[in-house]
Structure 1
Amino acid sequence: MQAEINKVELRNLKIQDYKELKNSMIESYPEMVDDYWREADIKKLLKIFPEGQLVILVDDIVVGAALSLIVHEDLVDQNHDYAKITGNYTFSTHTAKGEILYGIDVFVVPKYRGLRLGRRLYDARKEICEQLNLKSIVFAGRIPNYANYAHEINPKTYIDKVKRKEIHDPVLSFQLSNDFHVMRVMKNYLEGDRKSKEFAVLLEWNNIYYIESPTIINTEKTVIRLGLIQWQMRPLKNLEALFEQSEFFIDAVSGYGSDFAVFPELFIAPLMADYNHLSEADAIRELAKYAEPIRKRFQELAISYNINIISGSMPNLVDGVLYNSGFLCKRDGTYETYTKIHITPNEVFHWGITGGNTIQTFDTDCGKIGIMICYDVEFPELSRLMADEGMNILFVPFLTDTQNGYTRVKHCAQARAIENECYVAIAGCVGNLPKVNNMDIQYAQTAVFTPADFAFPSNGIKAETTPNTEMTLIVDVDLDLLKELHEHGSVKILKDRRHDLYRIKKLKN
């Protein structure tokens, strides 16, 4: 039974701690009585890298420590032993220009093991790695139980059994539980380590916040503000009236600092009223004439209001083939086209629309995004391929006439957010168009959906509008929360896929 503890403190090592540090190290490594750090070594470590040296105290007595260097990545990639990585114990390998936080020692005296004090030391190391913008933490962990199995199995098999919890190793089991992954086995790493047979396991923890080349301006944003427009279908006299109404909403959401303005699918349908005397197929082809002027005006508005605009969708005639397409107009003045891939039976029967052939993601100043139009969100393969390309936000402009149709879009969008560990933003049209055939009623509730984990709303809904009411929805989404989820979520859906059993791949580029 452990003695009563009144206070636990984690802080940086001081030279005044040396005597207690020496005692705790000798107690932690009884098999290596003379292999403790000398005072001169500790003084040098504190001189070259004081913030990397940590101690943990129980009732003001040092009972554990974690010592580190910063080294270049290429040194870690080379086959090395303990002497080489420490510069033959001189710490000459340390450099402030390195990319790797290399752990050269960590221990907790036996009396205080089982209190997760080692976990505190590792968590503090991770904070240092993040704060110094280092790529990862690397160290070679001993496997002190290997001596008991060396006559039966090789180190690789031993590691696999520890991973599967068939064998417990006091060092390796702990490292794996702290999100470190195995890089490779190191032979003859630490001379005199009889319990490990001088083998060690090179382990790594990746800093998900690492920025390879930090810049002062134009850095990629991590908190993104979305401006979603729940568009009221209303009679419009002409194209200029559409532009006037569109600019009103772009002005409104950009005034709140939004990074994106998102319009719904076929939001330009009111302009089809002038062609109501034609067949539905001919009327929508007349509407397709507006696609190019809209694209040009939205490009201008994206620049003027410093906002990325997702233009919902509109009929678009290309080489005589009718598509349901939209434009991503970026605030740098460029644009890209996206096209609905899966066409509903209604679109085929009444309008003769053809599905597109390109599955793609888009690079923006807010990271990589995906855009799918309405029905496409009901096909999970598309967004999974986008997630594999690094998509963080999926935008879904939609148009549904009934609550049944909306329910399909909503619940499929929520599923896409969970299974792809991303945000999904949907924007739809509301209201009635009595003078436009096949577009008479609309039902929508615009929303932003999230994964379902502790960092997000428990119901997976970040925000949503009032149903069937014209309004905007302005929502912040934090991309860093997605990084945390990918690495440390309650479940790790993308990582846990069984690629040994199944894969999804594109058949066309």
Structure 2
Amino acid sequence: MYRKEFYVFDQDRPVPAVIRNYEEKDFPGLIRIQQESFPPPFPSELWWNTEQLKNHVTLFPEGALCVEVDGEIAGSMTGLIVDFDPNHPEHTWEEITDNGYIRNHNPNGNTLYVVDIGVRPAYRKLGLGKWLMLSMYEVVVQLGLERLLGGGRMPGYHKKAHEMTAEQYLEAVVKGELKDPVITFLLRCGRTPVQVVANYLEDEESCNYAALMEWKNPFYTTKSEQGE
């Protein structure tokens, strides 16, 4: 199981933090993270419920991470393993994550897929989202998977939708001509764009688009490369 102890910085003050696998006792705190991280217009029915969280810790506990700051649960990240075919990348969040229930988790898959990442607003200046992402990269390496993949919301797109396509918006963010709260964050974490996906999630701010973004495992070797 996963446990990492380190310090985050509140301005110049080091604050002790821990990233670990979440468990049943954490469920109320995890639901609170969702409520604070994804306020309206984000649909409240997409917040975690207890059944989903039980599946996360039962079906794929390695992909259920949370971060504590000074003993207070402040953020979480959840994944599952899927068998991703880059030649057929189109999917919705609901399809690929089993609507957050991850009953389609495939231990023999090639890709760790991000179901969700969220940090409580009061803790957002501490860099916790990036720490969670880097920790999930370590899980990818530990399990010998090919990549980490996920659909990044594009919450700034609705402001530009009348003048550019979603693909043009993503390209402008990658070039640094525009900043997007989620896509720019993912770029800072080392993720790279694969393509834009339409009708990914009911998400007014993103006009239901998402940018599929990956991180490739630098240690990954195929079975043929291993001589098997």
Shared topology, TM-score over 0.5? yes
Match of 2:190 in 1: 179
Q: State how far apart, in whole Å, the 1-side matches of 2:220 and 2:210 are.
A: 27
**Matches of 2:18 and 2:166 in 1, distance apart?**
36
SS in 2 for 1:45: helix
Residue identity in the other structure for 1:201? A
Equivalent of 1:210 in 203, 211, 220: 220
Quote the RMSD (CA, aligned, Å).
2.1
Look up the match of 1:50. Answer: 61
Cα offset, 1:211, TM superposition: 2.2
Asked which structure has the greater RCO (Cα within 8 Å, sep 6+), the reply is 2
**Where does structure 1 lack aligned partners over 5 or more consecutive residues?**
221-509
The alpha carbon displacement at 1:58 in A equals 1.4
Number of aligned positions between the proteins: 215
Moved more, 160-169 or 42-51: 160-169
SS class of match (2:85): helix
Q: CA deviation at 1:74?
A: 2.9
SS at match of 2:46: coil
| Pick aligned residue for 2:27 from 15, 18, 23 | 18
User: Which residue does the alignment assign to 1:27?
Assistant: 36
Which residue number in structure 2 is paired with residue 264 of structure 1? none
Aligned residue for 1:24, secondary structure, equals helix
Structure 1: distance between partners of 2:176 and 2:19? 30
Structure 1 contact 161–167 (Cα < 8 Å) conserved: yes
Q: Could you tell me how far 1:5 is from its partner in structure 2?
A: 7.2
Secondary structure of the structure 2 residue equivalent to 1:73: coil
Picking from 211, 217, 220, the partner of 1:201 is 211
Amino acid of the residue matched to residue 214 of structure 2? E
| Contact persistence 1:104–1:139 (CA under 8 A) | yes
Matches within 5 A, 1:269-308: none
TM-score, length of structure 2 as denominator length:
0.88
In structure 2, C-alpha distance between the alignment counterparts of 1:114 and 1:38, rounded to whole Å: 27
Closer/same/farther in 2, CA of residues 108 and 88 from structure 1, 3 Å limit: closer
Identity %: 33
Q: What are the Cα deviations for residues 342-377 of structure 1, in whole angstroms up to 9, with x where unaligned?
A: xxxxxxxxxxxxxxxxxxxxxxxxxxxxxxxxxxxx
SS in 2 for 1:74: coil
Amino acid at match of 1:77: H
Partner of 1:92: 103
Supply the distance in 2 between the matched residues of 1:158 and 1:78 (Cα, whole angstroms). Answer: 19
Q: Tell me which of 154, 161, 166 is aligned to 2:177.
A: 166
CA distance 1:198–1:85, change in 2 (3 Å): same
The answer on whether the counterparts of 2:64 and 2:77 sit within 8 Å (CA) in structure 1 is yes
**Match for 1:176: what amino acid?**
L
- Offset, 1:102: 0.3
- 2:122 maps to amino acid: K
How far is 1:152 from its partner? 1.4
Report the TM-score, using the length of structure 1 for normalisation. 0.40
Given residue 85 of structure 1, which amino acid in structure 2 is its aligned partner?
Answer: I
* Aligned partners of 2:67 and 2:74 also within 8 Å: yes
For the residue of structure 2 that corresponds to 1:10, the secondary structure is strand
Distance 1:62 1:159 in 2: 32
Distance in structure 1 (CA, Å) of the matches to 2:224 and 2:141: 13
Query: Quick one: distance in 1 between partners of 2:184 and 2:195?
Result: 16
Map of 1:77 onto structure 2: 88
1:297-340 deviations in whole A, cap 9, x for unaligned?
xxxxxxxxxxxxxxxxxxxxxxxxxxxxxxxxxxxxxxxxxxxx
The Cα shift of 1:151 comes to: 1.3
Q: Which has the larger radius of gyration?
A: 1
Residue 178 of structure 2 aligns to a residue whose secondary structure is coil
Aligned twin of 1:8: 17
- Change over 3 Å in CA distance of 1:209–1:108 after alignment to 2: same
In the other structure, the counterpart of 1:61 is 72
**Could you tell me which amino acid in structure 2 is paired with residue 203 of structure 1?**
M
Equivalent positions of 1:138-157 (< 5 A) are: 138-157=149-168
Q: Does 1:36 align with 2:47?
A: yes
Going from structure 1 to structure 2, the CA distance change for 1:45 and 1:103 (only over 3 Å counts) comes to: same
**Alpha-carbon offset, residue 30 of structure 1:** 0.6
1:426-445 matches, within 5 Å, as none
